[in-house]
Amino acid sequence: MISTQEARDIISAFVHPLGTLTVSFENSLGFVLAEDIISEENIPSFDNSAMDGFAVRSEDCKTVPTVLQVIDEISAGSVSTRRMGQGECATIMTGAKIPEDCDAVIQHEWTEAINEREIKLLRSVVPGYNIRRAGDDIRNGTTVLEWGQNIRPQEIGVLASLGRRFVTVFRKPTVAILATGNELVEIHKPLSNGKIRNSNLYTLKSLVHELGCDVIDLGIGHDDKQELKTKLEHGLNADILLTSGGVSVGKFDFVLETLKELGVEEKFWKVNIKPGMPLFFGIYNEKPVFGLPGNPVSSFVTFVEFVKPAILQMSGNNMTNYRVQIRATLNNEILKKDAKRHFVRGVLENMNGNFSVKTTGTQSSGVLTSLTKANCLIHLPEEKKMFQIGEIVEVELL
Ligand code: AMP
Ligand code: MG
């Protein structure tokens, strides 16, 4: 059986970034940039005050204390039309343009008001003091944001400050999802004997939405080959097809054979992991197809570990640092009975600067609440079986 790393490598080798599209900068949050953003101006575009205080000529302020005449008031957004002569200054607000003759700003705390038109300066200043220079943040002609960079709120802010209304980004995949199983009932319908609500569809849809992708909801597919065929065929129009359930060796597990009949080429089936061992991955017309196991925790974990990286890669992500993994001290003993890689639901706590982690209790792959209690997955490597209290383990934040 292949390892987690081998499975990831196979997936990564078969998926590639989709094309690009141009979107309004406001809608670009969560996308990956598909162009360099080069500034056509200086930001800020003029020298301005970093403080509320007084704009002065530093040559007047060499010997202190000294008295200065206040001849103007400059608020943010306005400009002074006065020339500033010897011994003169202007009240200035943060962000306001520095008057032509001034070269420093003195904060209020360093002055004493004598009357409305005079201040006493208590400390000397050097030229440039409290002045934010034009181009301090961004210089005209420089590359501010780079191709391949993730667009977060701070990148949106930079685009706004540059007046860039449209940007070219990588397209994100549309994901079709089908939940399979005769036992599944739509969540708004009554539960009859032996049936369960179709929770996986909603978990998976949310995981996809969290990555900013659109979902084609294929609903429930019963364990009937013809029905599965029709629904899966429709799903193969999407950029990615995800199924849940029906990939094990049960008598009614028809998903794999139906996918293959439709022309999906198997790349692997079964990975040496727990939960989620029967994961299937195939390719149809260069599009990835994932058959996730039906157990709710298995489908969640296999999504996070294998589908999510594929979606990120297709969305143009450079795949460095996409997984937030840290080391923590184990707070309870874990005994593994097999040589699989385990993804154990855990609670990570920061104890005075040291991370400590414990499991959420029962790790049955049917117990979905093990995930609601968890804030991380503890990765237990294949070879090792016994994990003692106090050992250091790798933890992936959820
Ligand atoms: P399967 O992978 O089809 O053998 O299903 C494994 C287990 O997961 C069974 O107990 C199913 O009832 C359960 N299961 C399958 N699909 C879903 C679903 N969509 N929502 C919740 N549980 C499911
Ligand atoms: Mg089933």
Element (H, E) at 344: strand 341-351
Q: Name the burial class of residue 136, with classes exposed (0-12), middle (13-18) and buried (19+) by CB atoms within 10 angstroms of its CB.
A: middle
Q: Which domains does the chain have, with CATH numbers?
A: 4-16+172-321 (3.40.980.10), 20-43+136-170 (3.90.105.10), 48-132 (2.170.190.11), 325-397 (2.40.340.10)
Residue of 195, 200, 199 lying closest to 183 (CA atoms): 195
In whole angstroms, give the CA distance from residue 48 to residue 7. Answer: 55
Rounded distance from Cα 144 to ligand 2 centre (Å): 51
Distances (CA, A) of 21 to 28, 31, 150, 168, 283: 10, 10, 15, 6, 24
Question: Does 324 score more than 90 pLDDT?
Answer: no
Q: Provide the β-strand partners of residue 280.
A: 269, 291
Cβ of 250 below 6 Å from ligand 1: yes
The string of pLDDT tens digits covering residues 55-107 is 999 999 999 999 999 999 999 999 999 999 999 999 999 999 999 999 999 99
Three-state secondary structure call for residue 335: strand
Q: Name the burial class of residue 194, with classes exposed (0-12), middle (13-18) and buried (19+) by CB atoms within 10 angstroms of its CB.
A: exposed
> Prior bond to 65 cis, omega within 30?
yes
In this prediction, residue 102 carries a pLDDT of 98
Question: Does 320 score more than 90 pLDDT?
Answer: no
**Average pLDDT along the chain:** 97
In this prediction, residue 157 carries a pLDDT of 98
Residue of 294, 303, 295 lying closest to 205 (CA atoms): 303
Question: Does 321 score more than 90 pLDDT?
Answer: no
The string of pLDDT tens digits covering residues 23-50 is 999 999 999 999 999 999 999 999 999 9
In whole angstroms, give the CA distance from residue 188 to residue 396. Answer: 34
**Which ligand is the nearest neighbour of the Cα of 293?**
1
Three-state secondary structure call for residue 259: helix
The string of pLDDT tens digits covering residues 201-242 is 999 999 999 999 999 999 999 999 999 999 999 999 999 999
Cβ of 196 below 6 Å from ligand 1: yes
Cβ of 220 below 6 Å from ligand 1: no
Is the separation of the CB atoms in 198 and 220 below 8 Å? yes
